[in-house]
Structure 1
Amino acid sequence: MPNEQQQLFRNAMSQLAGAVNVVTSAGEGGTCGLTATAVCSVSDSPATVLVCINRESAVNAVIRNNGHLCVNVCSAEQQEVSCHFAGMTELSMEERFKLDTWDYGVLKQPLLRGSLASLEGRITDIAEVGSHSVFYAEIDNIVVREGQDALMYFNRSFKTLSA
């Protein structure tokens, strides 16, 4: 149970609208993914993003072992797949990747078909901060698909941001 300060922080962060992303990884450690809003650009030279993942998540260890990941920026039409990867449905990890919505990029990472963008990269650094690992990934492959509405998360619910 969170203490009062933790709950206040969580409440404050729920007021920070965030893009919904399905972060995926495939490799020796297996194939996995999760829904995340704690994703941010770091630099464009070299193109680098950061992804924050709870250390208690099984996905954390798999991504760490694989050394690669893909940030798939979700379109408004991808709320259902976002719910699957947030663990809000009964689909197992294996069943999530059996959905007919996946392509594979140059680094052989799962790319979510129809997403606004897919950024496929190599993990170059990991920082441990509190309960989370911050994965830094240099991006080697970028696919952008314009003209769609974005899926956002605000005040503990999904929202749409129109193009």
Structure 2
Amino acid sequence: MTCSPDDFRAAMRRFPSGVAIVAAGSAPHRAGMTATAICSLSADPPQVLACLNRLSSTCRAVEDARFFSINLLATSQLALARIFAGLEGGVSADQKFTAGVWRLGVTGAPILEDAVLTFECALVTAHPASTHNIVIGEVRHITGEVAEDALIYRSGVFGRWTGLAVTQPHLS
């Protein structure tokens, strides 16, 4: 028996995820998108993965530029998340980068100046998987000093993480 796509989407919506903008390219040919399918892959060497729709301009820009950034958004950057997710009509491609303060990182990838955390990555490989590519990047540089909570997405709603006020033993 196979899970239906609708059941899978409904279940995954309940899985909380950090919200980031994946960005690549250089002006006027930058592309970026809001993404929640991002995770660490390896600490040695430091690698991350992001799942990007194969037909998106961002996926093409990552593969063309060979360098990209993953910018973890703060709770105050909800408007940016919506713009880069295409939820604010009429804003496309390089125009998205007029929102927020963007600069070139050490790899040449566009990075969000006040992201909670930014990973600058060199593309290692992109594996096709159905409608998406699993993009693996070797982390070349990390920045981030913003103390604000990271933006979270769950059940179609943006929010913030709140720790429990319970004393727990240290897990090692």
TM-score with structure 1 length normalisation?
0.91
Task: Find the aligned partners of 2:152 and 2:100 in 1 and give their Cα distance.
Answer: 23
Query: How far did residue 68 of structure 1 move?
Result: 1.0
Provide the secondary structure at the position in 2 that maps to 1:30. Answer: coil
Amino acid at match of 1:113: E
2:133 counterpart of 1:149: no
Query: How far did residue 104 of structure 1 move?
Result: 1.7
> Any conservation in 2 of the 1:119–1:143 contact (CA below 8 Å)?
yes
Provide, for residues 12-41 of structure 1, a one-character-per-residue CA deviation record: whole Å limited to 9, x for no partner: 000100000000001499211000000010
Task: Find the aligned partners of 1:94 and 1:130 in 2 and give their Cα distance.
Answer: 27
In structure 2, do the counterparts of structure 1 residues 100 and 9 end up closer, same or farther at CA, with 3 Å as the change threshold?
A: closer
Query: How far did residue 103 of structure 1 move?
Result: 2.0
Amino acid at match of 2:121: G
Task: Find the aligned partners of 1:88 and 1:28 in 2 and give their Cα distance.
Answer: 22
Structure 1 segment 57-68 matched on structure 2, within 5 A = 57-68=56-67
Amino acid at match of 1:140: R
Query: How far did residue 48 of structure 1 move?
Result: 0.5
Task: Find the aligned partners of 2:27 and 2:133 in 1 and give their Cα distance.
Answer: 20
Query: How far did residue 94 of structure 1 move?
Result: 2.4
Query: How far did residue 58 of structure 1 move?
Result: 2.5
Contiguous gaps of at least 5 residues in structure 1:
none
Identity %: 26
Provide, for residues 43-86 of structure 1, a one-character-per-residue CA deviation record: whole Å limited to 9, x for no partner: 11111000101112222212111111100001101110110000
TM-score with structure 2 length normalisation?
0.87
Provide, for residues 76-120 of structure 1, a one-character-per-residue CA deviation record: whole Å limited to 9, x for no partner: 011101100000012222221123511221011111121110000
In structure 2, do the counterparts of structure 1 residues 42 and 29 end up closer, same or farther at CA, with 3 Å as the change threshold?
A: farther
Larger radius of gyration: 2
| Greater percentage in strand | 1
Larger deviation, residues 40-49 vs 11-20: 40-49
Amino acid at match of 1:64: E
Provide the secondary structure at the position in 2 that maps to 1:118. Answer: strand
Task: Find the aligned partners of 2:28 and 2:15 in 1 and give their Cα distance.
Answer: 33
**RMSD, matched Cα:** 1.8
Structure 1 segment 1-16 matched on structure 2, within 5 A = 5-16=4-15
> Any conservation in 2 of the 1:54–1:132 contact (CA below 8 Å)?
yes
Structure 1 segment 27-46 matched on structure 2, within 5 A = 27=26, 30-46=29-45
Contiguous gaps of at least 5 residues in structure 2:
164-172
> Any conservation in 2 of the 1:152–1:160 contact (CA below 8 Å)?
yes
Structure 1 segment 108-123 matched on structure 2, within 5 A = 108-123=108-123
2:53 counterpart of 1:54: yes
